A = this chain, B = another copy of it.
Amino acid sequence: MAGDGATQVEHMSEEVKGESQDNTWGWLESTAHAADFCPTEDHAVVPHDTPMKEGYLLAAHCMIYALDDSVVFNLYCRRAAVLMHMRFDGYLGFPGGLVDTGEEIIPALNRELHEEMNLDLTRFQVKHEDHVISHENAKNRVICHFYALCVSLAEFEEIERAALASKEHGHEVLGHIRVPLYVMGDGYRGFPTFLDNNFCGNARSQLLTSLKQRNILPESIINAALAATKKYVPASS
């Protein structure tokens, strides 16, 4: 089992165990597996209204973005400002989280967006029609619904600023970042380098699907950027 913290702690080196306050999973254990990094092939696309299964967790996340065709460094078209964050566990991810028992998906997601980003729900709310894709991960026993919320660039900047005052800033969320969507002069730096970072769950695949579905990046560019990942050898002097 992914959440078998007791066994895992036994295998943890004495140095790591001995120094911090506590290196167990504690109360995080029962849900920790939902955020394991999972390769794309572990996620089957399922309908939005897939019924819940016994022993499964339900998760909902959202990509907040603003179209932006301005040019950075006089060279690269930005295409969009896309918001992701550094999670408490060192992975990059999207705002959102687990749906509580008895909670509806959309209210749960908006609740999480308020908790994690201080999103002003009187002005911005994810709706059913913002749905992008849903996945089932049988290995990790989780169903993940994904949404994309398009705002103006001015609204995006406002959301970014407000996020620093969220309840979870410095706790679950260690900072918000924008995704570089351009490829730089060596064919690797920029978007491919970004994709070579660590992502939780299937966040990388959710990002790529949303960029495609919302016509932010053509599929050919996405595939070329993916092909460039993990292949860069710095030029010798």
Contact = CB atoms under 8 A, between A and B. Distances in A.
A122 interface: no
A15 interface: yes
Nearest to A220: B15
A75 B21 CA distance: 6
A1 B174 CA distance: 37
Interface in A36-65: 36-38
Contact of A186 (B32, B77, B171, B186): B32
A119 interface: no
Interface stretch (A88-96, A98-106, A124-132, A206-214): A88-96
Interface stretch (A109-117, A144-152, A175-183): A175-183
A164 B175 contact: no
Contacts of A28: 73, 75, 184-185
Interface residues of A, number: 87
Contacts of A23: 75-76, 182-185, 187
A27 to B, nearest CB: 7
A72 B16 CA distance: 17
- For A5, A20, A21, A28, which residue has the most chain B Cβ atoms within 10 angstroms? A20
A178 B174 contact: yes
Contact of A237 (B21, B140, B236): B140
A15 to B, nearest CB: 4
Interface of A: 1-5, 8-9, 11-13, 15-16, 19-29, 32-33, 36-38, 71-77, 81, 85-86, 88-92, 138-141, 160-161, 164, 170-171, 174-180, 182-187, 189-198, 218, 220-221, 223-225, 227-228, 234-237
6 contacts: A2-B234, A13-B187, A19-B221, A21-B75, A138-B237, A160-B164
Closest 9 CB pairs of A and B: A25-B185, A175-B177, A90-B193, A90-B194, A86-B177, A15-B224, A12-B187, A89-B189, A15-B220
